[in-house]
Amino acid sequence: MTESGQPGEEMPPALKIVPTIYPTSPPIEECLDRFWEAGEELDAVETHIGPPETPLALLEQLGPSPFERGGFPLIGFLATTYEKVSRYALDRR
């Protein structure tokens, strides 16, 4: 007999129940009134925000635009937006 309970049927690793030392979460129905609350634990999370090593590297990874050239300069717009949002995030820290 396998973990799935059926003879000859193997359960995928993602579905196997693994014992844990961590407490389990309550059912979501019991948490709906507090769903959007972050809790005090969030204050302990450290973040280090800095400019990217290579500006616009994310856009470059997307490759060339699949749209015809001409009309609205989409890649230029995305590059400008990316730069302004990045600068805004860095200024707010």
- pLDDT over 70 for what percent of the chain? 91
Q: What whole-number distance in Å separates Cα of residue 26 and Cα of residue 91?
A: 39
- Say if 1 falls within a structural domain: no
Structure confidence by residue, pLDDT tens digits, 46-90: 888 888 788 788 888 888 878 777 777 778 888 889 889 888 988
- Say if 87 falls within a structural domain: yes
Whole-number Cα distances in Å, 38 to 27, 32, 34, 41: 17, 13, 9, 8
Name the DSSP class of 11.
P
- Say if 80 falls within a structural domain: yes
Based on DSSP, count helices (H) and strands (E) in the chain, helices before strands.
2, 0
- Say if 40 falls within a structural domain: yes
Instruction: Give the domain extent around 22.
Output: 13-92
**Model-level pTM greater than 0.75?**
no
Q: Number of structural domains, the chain?
A: 1
User: Based on the number of CB atoms within 10 Å of its own CB, is 7 exposed (0-12), middle (13-18) or buried (19 or more)?
Assistant: exposed
- Say if 4 falls within a structural domain: no
